Structure 1
Amino acid sequence: MRKHYQIEIAENAKNLLYIPAEVQGNVKRIAYGTLAVELHGITHPKGKNILLISEDIAAKLRLPNLKTPLHLFLHEQTLYLGPLVGIFTSGFTPFPLRPIGERSLFFSKLLSVEKLVGAHAFIFGEEHIDWENGTIDGLFYLERGWQKITVPFPNVIYDRLPNRRSEKKVNNLNVKERLQKEYLIPWYNPGFFNKMDVYERLQQDPASAVYLPETHPFTSFSMIEKMLTNYGHVFIKPINGSLGFGIHQIIFDRESQAYFCRYRERDGENKLRKYQTLEALFKHVFKSRSLPHMLVQQGIHSLRVNKQTVDFRIHTNKDNEGNWQITAIAAKVASPGSVTTHINNGGMIKTMQEVFNSPEQEEEAVKKLKKACLTLSHALETYMEGIIGEIGFDMGIDRDGNVWLFEANSKPGRSIFKHPHLKAFDLLTRRLSLDFSIFLTEQTIINPEEVFK
């Protein structure tokens, strides 16, 4: 485990830097975020493993006295304190108790792990940046609640924009481009995945392709007819959809030669309608939808519990060594008549133990799902643009025991953590989402060509 050190600020001292006794090396410069000060550091005279810095130097660095231990990175006689992590988002409000509206609770829980991680982390948006002075009025979550503190530009930025609409705003795009190109700040988890894009890129990796159900952009009824002949049912999904909205299941019944469509109305009611032709089905169900923005996916005969479909949510995160870890795994059980297992569609979260009849069945399923998701994580990291630090996978297991990828999410939801037995996963995923910033910070200092290649 990487070590972090307590930082103490000496109020009645000038131009002073004592470095921890076990940190070996000549220090002529100290840096915090993107600010640095020329200063000769000496080993702590009492042999303590703390970093003591005088108040005047802390002020020049804009180093807040947060009582949070930090990592120290010594490279070419510069001692870097950090990481200082900026979490970029939008949707700020003028209310001090809920500065990011309904998401304030999520962010407060995310920032609460910074002492475990050994980092300073804050929330900011484009309106908090002072480009002229190279500082940000960051929102920190402290014991007294939310507090705005002016800090330097951070070592790394964690993208938590809430949706595609905010991601496409010109101001947010400009912030991202400028901080990456002008200040060489690594930006991780940028962008929402496009389902077709993910599918086409994963097809390039033989180890990942085995987990992919046949998927095509919508082009014609004949293509759907062919897939219905092969698989019995298909799913029609929005290419850029989320939370299960807009997903339709089309089933062909060979005995009656009829087509059935299962979907959820906008008012939340589940529907199952019968049509004699595919054309009639589309004319009625999809009359207000843009078919070129939909994809067609092979139907999988998934495992069932009490006649209800089950699929699985698995989270993967990169740790502070830059390695992929499985950080959460849970089952999702669809409500009766629902086309998806999503919670907003009435689905239920279950532990793996709750959905398998025996420990042996559970162990085998967990082993298969973990192997698949680690393989897919490495492939997405290779074939997708940007620095990816976390992924949420929606996976299925069919009745023959084969594992399938239904969807990969670059900004996974956290509804599974409402289950009382999944709280440990909640903490682990939050911790590792910041832990990865330690690895990125060190790489940016020592091997920047690897980060920005």
Structure 2
Amino acid sequence: MNSSHYAWVRVSSIKPWKLILPHYNQTAKISSMAYTIGHNNQSKSFIISSKKNVSDLRGAFPVRVIKKNLQYKIGPIVGILTTSGFKTFRGNRKNFIDIIQTGIKTGVLVYVFTPESIEQGSKTVKAHLYYPEQKKWDSVSMPLPDVVYNRIPTRREERLPIVQQTIQFLETEGIPFFNPHFFNKWSLYQWMGESHELAPILPDTAILERTRLQNLLKKYQMLYLKPIHGKAGIGFMKVQKKITYSI
């Protein structure tokens, strides 16, 4: 039978990890239990303590502790995959911080990592953790995540051999991979068109070609042109029909 409760974990690259429990009477009860963490259920030793005051939680992350048989599973862990750059990693850091803070509220440990940070032999990751109180990032060796959220910034980077090798490695490990690749807008339109709920509300859409454009301009006063592989509004155009009068 499975059961779960919340705790806090303080991670470190040089010190033993610490598991902080809400109540003192829990420490003796579970201190002798085996712990696993990450997708590959990596065994991990913790210093077990209880929360005496708020200062005990400084630098610690809320996590769920799930009991299964004679083991405790710490997690889940979500890894945000991006690329290297700007001394550490690229991507929308504000968005990453929002995701991390949502994880803190729900007991999900979230970190950022890059293809270069994976140690495939030991199945660990040099992860980037964000500490909201100090408003700073720190790098810590972590187990592979239970789930990966793909945030590779561009299509060009997505095609890089090291990125493709990383995606293949994660898929081979059987790690759920959310947002697996960039989509093109025409494919999305076709997929949504197969939905009985969405099809009736989709705008009239077509691949651009001269005759089709002329026919649509006869039907509508205004059209929008969007690159199939574009993003963030780049290359977005509005075509508006103007009516002129002469006497």
Question: TM-score if structure 2 supplies the norm length?
Answer: 0.74
Match of 1:84 among 77, 89, 107: 77
Match of 1:237 in 2: 226
CA distance in 2 between counterparts of 1:112 and 1:104 reads: 12
Q: Percent same amino acid among aligned pairs?
A: 22
CA distance in 2 between counterparts of 1:230 and 1:73 reads: 59
Match of 2:212 in 1: 223
Query: Would you say the 8 A contact 2:83–2:91 is kept in 1?
Result: no
CA distance in 2 between counterparts of 1:79 and 1:102 reads: 34
Match of 1:153 in 2: 144
How far does residue 150 in structure 1 lie from its aligned partner after superposition?
0.7
Name the structure with the higher helix share.
1
Match of 1:4 in 2: 6
Where 1:190 maps in the other structure, the secondary structure is coil
**What are the Cα deviations for residues 322-342 of structure 1, in whole angstroms up to 9, with x where unaligned?**
xxxxxxxxxxxxxxxxxxxxx
How far does residue 247 in structure 1 lie from its aligned partner after superposition?
2.1
Q: Does 1:31 align with 2:36?
A: yes
How far does residue 198 in structure 1 lie from its aligned partner after superposition?
0.9
For 2:108, give the aligned amino acid: A
For 1:6, give the aligned amino acid: W
Match of 2:189 in 1: 199
Query: Would you say the 8 A contact 1:228–1:234 is kept in 2?
Result: yes
Match of 2:54 in 1: none
Query: Would you say the 8 A contact 2:79–2:148 is kept in 1?
Result: yes
Query: Would you say the 8 A contact 1:29–1:36 is kept in 2?
Result: no
Where 1:132 maps in the other structure, the secondary structure is coil
CA distance in 2 between counterparts of 1:253 and 1:78 reads: 71
**What are the Cα deviations for residues 332-358 of structure 1, in whole angstroms up to 9, with x where unaligned?**
xxxxxxxxxxxxxxxxxxxxxxxxxxx
**What are the Cα deviations for residues 102-149 of structure 1, in whole angstroms up to 9, with x where unaligned?**
744443444344431212221110111111111111111224422111
How far does residue 92 in structure 1 lie from its aligned partner after superposition?
2.4
Query: Would you say the 8 A contact 1:228–1:252 is kept in 2?
Result: yes
CA distance in 1 between counterparts of 2:190 and 2:25 reads: 50
CA distance in 2 between counterparts of 1:190 and 1:102 reads: 16
Match of 1:71 in 2: 64
For 1:421-432, what aligned pairs fall within 5 Å after superposition? none
CA distance in 2 between counterparts of 1:216 and 1:19 reads: 64
Where 1:6 maps in the other structure, the secondary structure is strand
Provide runs of 4+ in structure 1 moved above 4 Å. 18-21, 254-257
Match of 1:188 in 2: 178
CA distance in 2 between counterparts of 1:231 and 1:67 reads: 57
For 1:387-398, what aligned pairs fall within 5 Å after superposition? none
For 1:36-435, what aligned pairs fall within 5 Å after superposition? 36-37=42-43, 53-54=46-47, 66-94=59-87, 99-100=88-89, 103-142=92-131, 143-144=133-134, 145-181=136-172, 183-218=173-208, 220-255=209-244
How far does residue 255 in structure 1 lie from its aligned partner after superposition?
4.6
Change (3 A) 1:20 1:254: farther
For 1:37, give the aligned amino acid: S
RMSD, aligned α-carbons: 3.5
**What are the Cα deviations for residues 303-329 of structure 1, in whole angstroms up to 9, with x where unaligned?**
xxxxxxxxxxxxxxxxxxxxxxxxxxx
| Alignment gaps of 5+ in structure 1 | 13-17, 40-52, 56-64, 258-453
CA distance in 2 between counterparts of 1:169 and 1:19 reads: 50
**What are the Cα deviations for residues 22-77 of structure 1, in whole angstroms up to 9, with x where unaligned?**
xx99x9642111243399xxxxxxxxxxxxx447xxxxxxxxx9522211233354
| Alignment gaps of 5+ in structure 2 | 17-22, 49-57
Change (3 A) 1:70 1:198: same
**What are the Cα deviations for residues 388-428 of structure 1, in whole angstroms up to 9, with x where unaligned?**
xxxxxxxxxxxxxxxxxxxxxxxxxxxxxxxxxxxxxxxxx
CA distance in 1 between counterparts of 2:44 and 2:233 reads: 54
Change (3 A) 1:178 1:251: same
